[in-house]
Amino acid sequence: MAKYLVIVESPAKSKTITKFLGKNYKVQASIGHVRDLPKSKMGIDMENDFDPQYITIRGKGSVIKELKSAAKKVDKVFLATDPDREGEAIAWHLANILGIDIDEKCRVTFHEITKDAIKEAVKNPRAINMDLVDAQQGRRILDRLVGYSISPLLWRKIRKGLSAGRVQSVATKLICDREKLIDAFIPEEYWTIDAELKKAKHRKKIVSTLHSYNGKKLEIKNEKEVNDILKEIKDYPFVVSDIKTRGKSRTAPLPFTTSSLQQEAANKLGFSTKKTMSVAQQLYEGVDIKKNGTVGLITYMRTDSTRISDEARNHGIAYIEENYGQEYLGVKKKAKKESKNAQDAHEAVRPTVIHFKPEEIESSLNKDQFKLYKLIWERFMSSLMSNAKFETKTVSFDLNAYEFRLSGTTMVFDGFLKVYTYASTKDTELPELEVGEELELKEILPLQHFTQPPGRYTEASLVKEMEEKGIGRPSTYAPTISTIISRGYVEREKKALKPTELGNLINDIMENYFNNIVDVSFTADLEHKLDNVEDSNYHWKELIREFYGPFKALLDHAEGDIEKVDLVEETDIECDKCGNMMVIKYGRFGKFLACSNYPECKNTKAILKEIGVKCPKCEVGEVVERKTKKFRTFYGCSEFPDCNFMSWNKPTNQKCPECGEILYEKRTKKMHSLICDNCDYKKELSED
User: Catalytic annotation on 300?
Assistant: yes
Residue 382 to residue 371: CA distance in whole angstroms: 16
The answer to whether 305 and 344 are in contact (CB under 8 A) is yes
Could you tell me which of 514, 498, 495 has the C-alpha nearest to residue 506?
514
Helix runs in 417-514, H state only:
459-469, 477-486, 501-513
284, 300, 324, 328: which one is catalytic? 300
Within 13 Å, how many C-alpha atoms sit on residue 30's CB side? 28
Burial label for 42, CB within 10 Å (0-12, 13-18, 19+), is: middle
| Beta-bridge mates of residue 107 | 79, 126
Could you tell me which of 112, 45, 110, 97 has the C-alpha nearest to residue 67?
97
**303-334 per-residue burial string, b: 16 or more CB within 10 A, e: under 16:** bbbbbbeeebbebbbeebeeebeeebbbeeee
CA angle 144, 148, 152 (to 5 degrees): 170
CA-atom Rg of the chain in angstroms: 31
Residue type, 67: L
Burial label for 549, CB within 10 Å (0-12, 13-18, 19+), is: exposed
The answer to whether 411 and 425 are in contact (CB under 8 A) is yes
For the chain, the first-to-last Cα distance in angstroms comes to 70
Residue 594 to residue 567: CA distance in whole angstroms: 12
- Residues serving a catalytic function are 300
